[in-house]
Amino acid sequence: SGTESLLVNHAFLEVGGRTEKLLIFESIVPLTTATVLSCSFYAKVSDLHTEVYKSQETAMANPLVAFTLIKRLHSEWLNVVYSDEALENTQALRSSYEKEEAGLPKLEDLQGAAKGLMRLQDVYALQVASLVRGHFRSVTNGQATDIYMPDVSVPLSGDDCFLVGKVAYDQEDYYHSVQWLEESVRLFRGSGGEWSPENEGTLKDALDHLAFSHFKVGNVSYALSLSQELLHHDPVNGRVLQNVEKYEKLLMERPHISNRGGGLRRPASKYLRTRNTYERLCQTQGSQPVHFENPRLFCDYFTSGSPGLLLGPVKREVLSLQPYVVLYHDFITDAEAEDIKMLAQPGLRRSVVAAGEKQATADYRISKSAWVKDSAHSVVGKLDQRISLLTGLNVTHPYGEYLQVVNYGIGGHYEPHFDHATSPSSPVFKLKTGNRVATFMIYLSSVEAGGSTAFIYANFSVPVVEKAAIFWWNLHRNGQGDMDTLHAGCPVLIGDKWVANKWIHEYGQEFQHRCSLNPEE
């Protein structure tokens, strides 16, 4: 379908890891020494579970580790189970696989994971050649810099890179397909073109897709060279012979196009006008420009004048005055955060965005979310009460929406958007309590890298602070939307990001958040 209809989250990956372990150690009969290729696959996977997955949480926080697990569960096991090399153990192998098949990742999961890697590549300016080796490194002015050095990582195979490149290729995204297929060809060449039963692609497949990708970006001479190499492996391929003839004719007629197109250029975004600012703020990972240092920004112990907070004031950090953004440290306990995640887990579904009067999935919002009512558990009511004490606002339904719990998987993000409705037909107005006047977002987990909240026009970003909560006003006192609240959830680079959103509406706040005498405010 070309869309990421399902986002694989951390809990799903943990289950997947246990499923794979079950397939290896409990359900599969020992293989005979004749099945050499299959043995190498099982040995590789067994080693991963012995070494890499020792700390499952740390391992699954790495998008490269998570991607390779999804790929194995979706296609590599399937290929091995139904390969000729598995004939010695056909029945035991297939029955074991089929028992687990319904719970394994689907094609959409695998494509979504591949798109997640490409998103991380773009937003954090990651070098593909380094990613393939298991490193998170960017290159600026010819200088390589390690953005993050994970405790646990894995290199990608030629087939892994082929899959990512093919996802881009199928979307006619040749900027990404060239880079990933180049690595695929390099790795397949390095293995002597040796085929393994778990692989989807081969050196021939990678050469074929890479040659056409180069042709599409204007590198005709290199497309010709790759096609000629492909003919060495498949000399009677009529389509490739026709391509070679076409490329040679083009080079004869227009020799000026023989060069490699002046290098790859990332295509402009069709809808994200603030892409450069968004990515710069994500790359700072929360560090602020010097000119934002302001003596009017401060930290204190906050009571809001409420008797309920006098004995236990909250640590408040004022991050910005325009828009007004505040961070409340240690807002939630570890136990409460775990309870909220547990309550949300069964209801997690792909997050949607407003599309006219309806709601729909979109590539610019990649996460899973669930709505949790205050009647679901006493902890939800306690959080609502705490939010009301801090903000002085009425957060009971329908003046406050139910708690929305969100989990961001591989490359999970939410590109620049407003929380308040900007159209009269927005679903936000279905509650008939006005627009979203304020946002209260609770961080239920920490992340090791990425995942900042970036305020685009205000030009600052806030890193994920575990157990903290961030609050801001979406509307001016006159009810108009505050354009400076345009914000984004940066892609998670390493980690498992969980947040809970409480959106508070205009109605019900008449005496808590009064209008100003100045109609311009």
Q: Which residues pair with 143 in a beta bridge?
A: 140
The answer to whether residues 88 and 31 touch, using CB atoms and an 8 Å cutoff, is yes
What distances in angstroms separate CA 261 from CA 222, 256, 451, one per listed residue?
10, 10, 35
The shares of helix, strand and coil residues in the chain, as percent rounded to the nearest 5, are: 45, 20, 35
Q: Which of 62, 98, 49 is nearest to 77 (CA)?
A: 98
Q: Cα(118)–Cα(410) distance, rounded to whole angstroms?
A: 10
What is residue 363's predicted lDDT score, i.e. its pLDDT? 60
Terminal Cα distance for the chain, rounded: 46
The answer to whether residues 326 and 316 touch, using CB atoms and an 8 Å cutoff, is yes
Cβ atoms within 10 Å of 481's Cβ, excluding its own: 17
* Domains, the chain, ordered by start: 2-103 (no CATH), 108-259 (1.25.40.10), 272-505 (2.60.120.620)
Any idea what the Cα angle at residue 403 is, between residues 400 and 405, rounded to 5°? Answer: 150
The answer to whether residues 248 and 224 touch, using CB atoms and an 8 Å cutoff, is yes
What is residue 258's predicted lDDT score, i.e. its pLDDT? 58
Q: Cα(320)–Cα(323) distance, rounded to whole angstroms?
A: 6
Phi-psi region of 356 (alpha: psi -120 to 50; beta: other; left: phi over 0): left
Q: Where are the alpha helices (DSSP H) in 88-202?
A: 90-100, 107-123, 128-132, 158-170, 174-190
What is residue 54's predicted lDDT score, i.e. its pLDDT? 73
Q: Which residues pair with 487 in a beta bridge?
A: 417, 455
Q: Sheet harboring 324-329: ordered strands across?
A: 299-302, 314-321, 324-329, 469-473, 436-443, 497-505, 403-408, 368-372, 349-350
Three-state DSSP at 129 gives: helix
DSSP states of 397-461 as a string?
A: TTTBPPEEEEEE-TT-EEEEE-SS--STT-GGGGGSS-SEEEEEEEE-S-EEEE--EEETTTTEE
Residues of the chain with pLDDT under 50: 1-7, 23-37, 291
Three-state DSSP at 113 gives: helix
* C-alpha torsion sign, points 247, 252, 253, 255: positive
Query: Locate tokens 């003839």: which residue?
Result: 245
State both tokens at 47: 């080693």
> How much is the pTM?
0.85
25 DSSP 8-state letter: I
Query: What phi and psi values does residue 325 have, to the nearest 5 degrees?
Result: -130, 130
The answer to whether residues 183 and 132 touch, using CB atoms and an 8 Å cutoff, is yes
User: Which H or E run includes 369?
Assistant: strand 368-372
Any idea what the Cα angle at residue 69 is, between residues 68 and 72, rounded to 5°? Answer: 85
Maximum pairwise Cα distance, the chain: 85
Query: What phi and psi values does residue 364 have, to the nearest 5 degrees?
Result: -85, -5
Exposure on the CB side of residue 147, measured as CA atoms within 13 A: 25
State both tokens at 389: 């004490």
What is residue 29's predicted lDDT score, i.e. its pLDDT? 39
User: Which H or E run includes 375?
Assistant: none
Chain centroid offset of residue 387 CA = 29
What is residue 33's predicted lDDT score, i.e. its pLDDT? 35
What is residue 31's predicted lDDT score, i.e. its pLDDT? 42
Q: Which of 124, 123, 128 is nearest to 165 (CA)?
A: 128
What is residue 518's predicted lDDT score, i.e. its pLDDT? 74
Query: What phi and psi values does residue 494 have, to the nearest 5 degrees?
Result: -135, 125
How many helices (H) and strands (E) in the chain? 17, 20
What is residue 362's predicted lDDT score, i.e. its pLDDT? 57
